[in-house]
């Protein structure tokens, strides 16, 4: 009996190859288009005076009127004791509402430019099987929450928004738009850290901005990755590619959508799943029946 | 009595917590060191309407909207190679300035003192605040900008050799106010005048057009932040005449007007001053 199941599973795994390249990389391609597109709009905003998106990820103006601000940066400014303009507060609330209520931690995988570099490092890791031989350095994933709090504690002590002051995300994004200087060394450092030191080291372990978006998207964000246990063949492809593996704890166990705020909604698991057992869904939508029902 | 053995779960939690604290302190010290070192550039020049440096660093979110406003205004000048000369730029790692904050280097591109001040109006956090640029009439006025103050190095200024160079005065948007010409006797020849530039910090905005115009290899007139270049008298010195005399301000203004008459208009004017003719 169990033999028969194993055979069907291996057959199903063969079926994975029939999924076309585009289908296997749909969300990855869409993500890169979004990331690069947004960067392009910003670059055009600076060099060519385009009015669609001007500024950078810390604060920008959308269509010249709507302010958009990094809520964590604004929070640090409050902590550093600054009375800031109304614009950035509105902007921060808009962004907070967008990710907190709708998109989840999508900032990290769909917008943040650092993601492209860390993804590249991770891709090389998976391709080369680097992590099988490497000396494992254990940094807990909770470190980022300590950094998140530390950023807020240091802001009043140093009298500046502490993380915003050194943020590699800001340095990268600002650098791409306005000129990078020696900022590339920081990008290289993160790339090498992710490649040789810790798998998904920066985005998944250290980045306080990612931690911030994790926290705000945990309670209510609508867009989630759904999971159908019935379709799952437990090939574990999803876990191989997921940058935040711990959020996929239900694979093969429970019929539940991914509800952890740490999920970046990157959709890579959806891409690679040969059985379409993973898919984008809405938080409160019931998806898939119980295993017992079938 | 048996309960005295520590609960292993609680112990683990506690140790984990302490580890977190320890790690945070190590991280915090390194982090603070980087930030404090990076915060220090006493010579950085900020855009018009900027709050004093400490306050400015708190408020600036480093979005670059001021830079974009500066780069995309209508009257951006071009250099000889046809490149846009944009005054403001954002500090990158390696510039030695607080990363991501806007600044300008007058010798490269000075502030052209746009009347509509696009940079200050673009700021979403009020780190650049147009309220700081209001004049006596309550209008937003670029001449109220205090980005820095020009300082003259007399030893390298050729006007102090007696050569007639008034490049900085001519370049000054507040000509004869922020920089005026002081007529002095040329002690070398005895009969010629030296027309030397003198900066009035009460009017100087720190735009740096003088520094940009200065013909010497390394500019003899240059802009420094006001808190670096200017002294402060303190309360223990009192100008008695300000308190005893009436309408001092008006009197000073009248006297200034009188002095204005002495400003040379043509070369003959200063060559024919009584002072020289009596020799």
List the beta bridge partners of residue B134.
B140
CATH number at residue A265: 3.30.70.20
Confidence band of B61 (pLDDT split at 50, 70, 90): very high
Q: What is the largest CA-CA distance in chain B?
A: 112
- Secondary structure in 3-state letters for B1-70: CHHHCCCHHHHHHHHHHHHHHHHHHHHHHHHHHHHHHHHCCCCCCCCCCECCHHHHHHHCCCCCHHHHHH
In this prediction, residues B52-74 reach a mean pLDDT of 92
Looking at the fold, whether B76 and B127 belong to one and the same domain comes out as: yes
Minimal Cα–Cα distance from A247 to chain B, Å?
22
The answer to whether position A33 is within a domain reads no
Secondary structure of residue B207 in the 3-state scheme: coil
pLDDT of A109 above 70: yes
- Per-residue pLDDT averaged across B248-266, rounded? 75
Looking at the fold, whether A245 and A279 belong to one and the same domain comes out as: yes
Please tell me which residue, A15 or A125, carries the higher pLDDT value: A125
On the question of pLDDT at A293 being above 70, the answer is: no
Quickly state the pLDDT bin for B270 (edges 50, 70, 90): low
The closest alpha carbon to A212, from A30, A61, A57, belongs to A57
* Residues A257-276, mean pLDDT to the nearest whole number: 92
Q: Are B214 and B202 in contact (CB under 8 A)?
A: no
> Alpha carbon A103 to chain centroid distance?
11
Number of domains in chain B: 3
H-run or E-run covering A237? helix A237-241
Q: Which residues of chain A neighbour B54 with C-beta distances below 8 Å?
A: 159
- Residue that terminates a domain, selected from B113, B146, B179: B146
Q: Per the structure block, which two tokens stand in for B153?
A: 């190095």
Buried b (16+ CB within 10 A) or exposed e, B2-41: eeeeeeeeeeeeeeeeeebeebbeebbeebeeebeebbeb
> Which whole number is the average pLDDT over A244-260?
91
Structure tokens that stand for B88 in this block: 């403001």
- A160 closest CB neighbour out of B24, B27, B58: B58
Q: If you measure CA to CA, which chain B residue comes closest to A183?
A: B93
Rounded Cα gap, residues A269 and B190, in angstroms: 89
Same domain, B119 and B46: yes
Same domain, A85 and A152: yes
- In this prediction, residue B273 carries a pLDDT of 62
Question: Which pLDDT band, with edges at 50, 70 and 90, does B160 fall under?
Answer: very high
Residues of chain B found within 8 Å of residue A73, distances taken between Cβ atoms: 61
**Averaged pLDDT score across all residues of chain B:** 88
Q: What are phi and psi of A59, to 5 degrees?
A: -155, 135
B140 shares its domain with B224: no
Please check whether residue B25 lies inside any domain of the structure.
no
Asked if residue B73 lies in contact with residue B118, where contact means CB atoms within 8 angstroms, the answer is yes
Please say if the pLDDT value at position B98 is more than 90: yes
Q: Which of A191, A216, A241 finishes a domain?
A: A216
Quote the minimal CA–CA distance from B102 to chain A in Å: 11
Residue A19 has pLDDT above 90, yes or no: no
Give the global pTM: 0.84
Percent of chain A with pLDDT over 70: 91
Element of type H or E holding A272: helix A268-272
Judged against a pLDDT cut of 70, whether residue A78 lies above it is answered with: yes
Q: What is the pLDDT of residues B6-32, one digit of tens each?
A: 688 888 889 988 988 898 899 999 999
Same domain, A201 and A262: no
Q: Are residues B60 and B92 in the same domain?
A: yes
| Predicted confidence (pLDDT) at residue B260 exceeds the cutoff of 90 | no
Note which residues in 176-195 of chain A have CB less than 8 A from chain B.
177-183, 185-186
**Do A91 and A64 meet the contact criterion of CB atoms below 8 Å apart?**
no
Same domain, B115 and B140: yes
Provide the terminal-to-terminal Cα distance of chain A, rounded to the nearest Å. 18
From B73, which residue of chain A is nearest by alpha-carbon distance?
A49
Same domain, A161 and A192: yes
The pLDDT of residue A10: 47
Instruction: For residues B177-202, give the mean pLDDT.
Output: 89
Structural tokens at position A208: 């306080």
Say whether residue A72 is in contact with chain B using an 8 A CB cutoff.
no
Please report which confidence band the pLDDT of residue B212 belongs to, taking 50, 70 and 90 as the band edges.
Answer: very high
pLDDT-wise least confident of A25-34, B101-110, B213-222, B265-274: B265-274
The pLDDT of residue A2 is 45
pLDDT at B136 over 80: yes
Stretch A10-28: mean pLDDT: 70
User: pLDDT at residue A16 above 50?
Assistant: no
- Residue B207 structural domain: 148-232
Q: How far apart are CA A56 and CA A43, in angstroms?
A: 9
A186/A80 same-domain check: yes
Residues 36 through 55 of chain B touching chain A, CB cutoff 8 Å: 36, 38-39, 54-55
* pLDDT of the residue at B262: 66
**Is there a single domain that holds both residue A236 and residue A272?**
yes
List, in sequence order, every beta strand (DSSP E) within chain A. 53-56, 59-62, 66-69, 223-227, 278-282
Split at pLDDT 50, 70, 90, the class of A94 is: very high
Closest alpha carbon to A242 in A283, A209, A210, A278: A278
Question: CB–CB of A91 and B38 under 8 A?
Answer: no
Q: Which of A189, A216, A243 is the last residue of a domain?
A: A216
**Burial zone of A106 (CB within 10 Å; 0-12 exposed, 13-18 middle, 19+ buried):** buried
Count the Cβ atoms, other than its own, within 10 Å of residue B240.
Answer: 7
Chain A, window 130-169: residues with a beta carbon less than 8 angstroms from a chain B beta carbon: 142-143, 146-147, 149-150, 153-154, 157-162, 164-166
The tokens describing B221, both together, are 């007139």
Could you give the 3-state DSSP secondary structure of residue A62? strand
pLDDT digits (tens, 9 = 90+) for A178-220: 988 899 999 999 999 999 999 999 999 999 999 999 999 999 8
Residues β-bridged to residue B149: B224
Rg (CA), chain A: 20
Closest CA to A275 of A85, A16, A27: A16
In this prediction the ipTM stands at 0.84
Distance from CA of B49 to the nearest CA of A (A): 14
Q: What's the average model confidence in pLDDT over A128-145?
A: 85
Per-residue pLDDT, A287: 54
**Residues from chain A contacting residue B89 (CB–CB below 8 Å):** 178-179
**What is the rounded CA–CA span in Å between residue B104 and residue B90?**
9
A19 is a domain residue: no
Q: How confident is the model at residue B266 (pLDDT cuts 50, 70, 90)?
A: low
Q: B130, B48 in Cβ contact below 8 A?
A: no
What's the pLDDT score for residue A7? 46
Same domain, B223 and B251: no
- Domain of A157 in residue numbering reads as 38-216
Give yes or no: residues A140 and A207 share one domain. Answer: yes
In a domain, residue A4? The reply is no
Last residue of a domain, one of A151, A186, A216: A216
Q: How far off is chain A from B30, nearest CA to CA, in Å?
A: 11
Nearest to B46 by CA among B65, B66, B61: B66
- Farthest CA pair distance, chain A: 69
Q: What is the pLDDT of residue B241?
A: 76
Taking only residues 55 to 74 of chain B, the set having a beta carbon closer than 8 angstroms to any beta carbon of chain A reads: 55, 57-59, 61-65, 67-68, 71-72
Asked if residue A149 lies in contact with residue B23, where contact means CB atoms within 8 angstroms, the answer is no
What integer pLDDT is reported at residue B114 of this predicted model? 94
In-domain check, residue B2: no
pLDDT over 90 (residue B248): no
Q: How far apart are CA A120 and CA A126, in angstroms?
A: 10
Q: Which two tokens stand for residue A136?
A: 């494992």
Among A80, A75, A76, A57, CA closest to A67: A57
Residue A266 binned pLDDT confidence (cut-offs 50, 70, 90):
very high
Is A228 found in the same domain as A124? Answer: no
Query: Residue B150: what pLDDT?
Result: 97
Q: Are residues B74 and B135 in the same domain?
A: yes
């Amino acid at each position: 009996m169990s033999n028969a199941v194993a055979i069907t599973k291996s057959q199903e795994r063969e079926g994975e190859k029939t999924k076309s390249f585009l289908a296997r990389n749909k969300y990855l391609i869409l993500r890169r288009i979004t990331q690069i597109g947004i960067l392009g709009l910003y670059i055009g905003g600076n060099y060519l005076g385009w009015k669609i998106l001007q500024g950078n990820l810390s604060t920008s103006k959308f269509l010249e009127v709507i302010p958009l601000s990094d809520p964590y940066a604004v929070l640090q400014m409050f902590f550093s004791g600054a009375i800031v303009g109304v614009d950035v507060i509105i902007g921060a609330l808009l962004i907070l509402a967008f990710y907190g209520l709708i998109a989840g931690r999508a900032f990290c995988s769909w917008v943040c430019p650092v993601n492209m570099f860390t993804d590249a490092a991770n891709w090389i890791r998976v391709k080369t099987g680097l992590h099988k031989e490497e000396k494992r350095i254990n940094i807990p994933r909770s470190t980022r929450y300590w950094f998140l709090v530390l950023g807020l504690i240091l802001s009043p002590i140093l009298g500046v928004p502490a993380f915003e002051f050194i943020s590699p995300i800001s340095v990268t994004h600002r650098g791409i738009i306005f000129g990078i200087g020696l900022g590339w060394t920081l990008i290289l450092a993160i790339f090498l850290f992710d490649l040789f030191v810790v798998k998904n080291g920066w985005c998944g372990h250290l980045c306080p901005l990612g931690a911030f978006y994790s926290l705000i998207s945990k309670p209510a964000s609508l867009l989630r990755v759904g999971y159908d246990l019935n379709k799952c063949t437990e090939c574990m492809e999803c876990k191989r590619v997921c940058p935040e593996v711990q959020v996929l704890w239900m694979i093969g166990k429970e019929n539940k959508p991914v509800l952890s705020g740490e999920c970046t909604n990157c959709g890579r698991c959806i891409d690679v799943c040969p059985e379409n057992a993973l898919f984008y869904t809405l938080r409160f939508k019931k998806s898939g029946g119980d295993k017992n029902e079938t | 009595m048996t309960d005295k053995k520590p609960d292993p779960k609680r112990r683990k939690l506690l140790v984990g917590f302490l580890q977190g604290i320890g790690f945070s302190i190590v991280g915090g010290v390194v982090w603070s060191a980087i930030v404090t070192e990076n915060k220090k550039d006493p010579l950085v020049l900020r855009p018009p309407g900027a709050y004093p440096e400490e306050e400015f660093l708190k408020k600036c979110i480093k979005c670059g909207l001021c830079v974009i406003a500066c780069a995309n205004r209508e009257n951006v000048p071009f250099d000889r190679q046809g490149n846009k000369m944009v005054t403001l730029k954002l500090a990158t790692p390696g510039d030695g300035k607080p990363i991501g904050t806007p600044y300008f280097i007058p010798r490269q591109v000075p502030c052209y003192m746009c009347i509509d001040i696009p940079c200050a109006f673009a700021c979403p956090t009020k780190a650049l605040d147009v309220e700081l640029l209001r004049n006596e009439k309550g209008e937003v006025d670029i001449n109220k900008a205090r980005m820095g103050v020009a300082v003259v190095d007399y030893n390298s200024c050729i006007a102090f050799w007696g050569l007639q160079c008034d490049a900085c005065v001519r370049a000054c948007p507040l000509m004869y106010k922020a920089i005026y010409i002081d007529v002095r006797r040329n002690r070398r020849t005895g009969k010629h005048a030296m027309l030397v530039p003198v900066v009035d910090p009460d009017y100087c905005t720190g735009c740096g057009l003088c520094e940009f115009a200065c013909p010497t290899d390394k500019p003899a007139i240059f802009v420094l932040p006001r808190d670096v270049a200017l002294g402060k008298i303190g309360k223990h010195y009192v100008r008695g005449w300000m308190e005893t005399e009436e309408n001092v301000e008006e009197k000073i203004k009248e006297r200034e007007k009188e002095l204005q008459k002495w400003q040379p208009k043509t070369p003959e004017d200063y060559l024919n001053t009584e002072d020289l003719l009596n020799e």
